[in-house]
Amino acid sequence: MFPLIYRRKSSVQAGRVSEHKTTDSETREAFIPYQRDDLIQMCLNEGLLSKAQSKDFKDLSEILMAHLHFEFLQYGEAVKKHYGPFDPDRDTILLEQDIDFDRREHDLIELFRSIAKRANYFEISNEQIEKCFEAVTLIDLRTTVDLDDFDRVLCFARGDIDKKTTVKKLFKKKEIEVDILQRVLLLFKFKGEEYFESSKQKQKVRKESLFEPGKVYAYFYKDVPKYDLELLFPNVQVGMNLRQKLLFAIPAIGGSIGVFLKIIPQILIIVGVVLFLLGGRSWLEKTGLSEEAVSNFMPVMVALMGVVLALGGLAIKQWGGYRKKRIQLLKDVSEQLFFRNLATNRSVFHRIIDSAEEEESKEILLVFYHLVTSRSEGLTKEALDAKIEKWMEQKLGAVIDFDIDGPLNYLTKLRGPACDGTETSLVKIDQEGLIRALSIGDAKHVIDHLWDHAFRFAN
pLDDT digits (tens, 9 = 90+) for 260-312: 556 566 566 666 656 555 555 565 555 555 555 555 544 555 555 665 665 56
CA distance 58 to 33: 21
- Specify if 195 maps to a domain: no
- Specify if 275 maps to a domain: yes
424-433, long-range: CB within 8 Å, 24+ apart, which pairs?
A: 426/368, 427/367, 427/368, 427/371, 429/381, 433/380, 433/381
- Specify if 324 maps to a domain: yes
Residue of higher predicted confidence among 278 and 123: 123
- pLDDT range class, residue 161, cuts 50, 70, 90: confident
Residues in the chain: 459
- Specify if 442 maps to a domain: no
What share of residues in the chain are helix, strand, coil (percent, to 5)? 55, 20, 30
- Specify if 170 maps to a domain: no
pLDDT digits (tens, 9 = 90+) for 353-400: 999 999 999 999 999 999 999 877 789 999 999 999 999 999 888 899
For 393-418, what is the mean pLDDT?
92
Closest by alpha carbon to 438, among 333, 368, 390, 363?
A: 368
Percent of the residues in the chain that have a pLDDT greater than 70, as a whole number? 68
Query: Above 80 in pLDDT, residue 164?
Result: no
The domain in which residue 322 lies consists of 243-329
Query: Above 50 in pLDDT, residue 20?
Result: no
- pLDDT range class, residue 118, cuts 50, 70, 90: very high
Number of domains making up the chain: 1
- Specify if 409 maps to a domain: no
Provide the CA 322 distance to its chain's centre, in angstroms: 30
Residue of higher predicted confidence among 288 and 48: 48
- Specify if 253 maps to a domain: yes
How many other β-carbons are positioned within 10 Å of the β-carbon of residue 353? 21
The pairing of strands 427-429 and 423-425 is unpaired
Q: Is residue 404 within 8 Å of residue 436, measured between CB atoms?
A: no
Query: 158 forms bridges with which residues in the sheet?
Result: 183
pLDDT at residue 331, rounded to an integer:
65
Give the range with max mean pLDDT: 14-28, 138-152, 295-309, 420-434.
420-434
- Specify if 272 maps to a domain: yes
CA distance 280 to 232: 65
For 396-417, what is the mean pLDDT?
92
Q: CA–CA distance from 257 to each of 103, 251, 260, 263, 441 (Å)?
A: 64, 10, 5, 10, 89
Query: Above 90 in pLDDT, residue 242?
Result: no
CA distance 416 to 323: 70
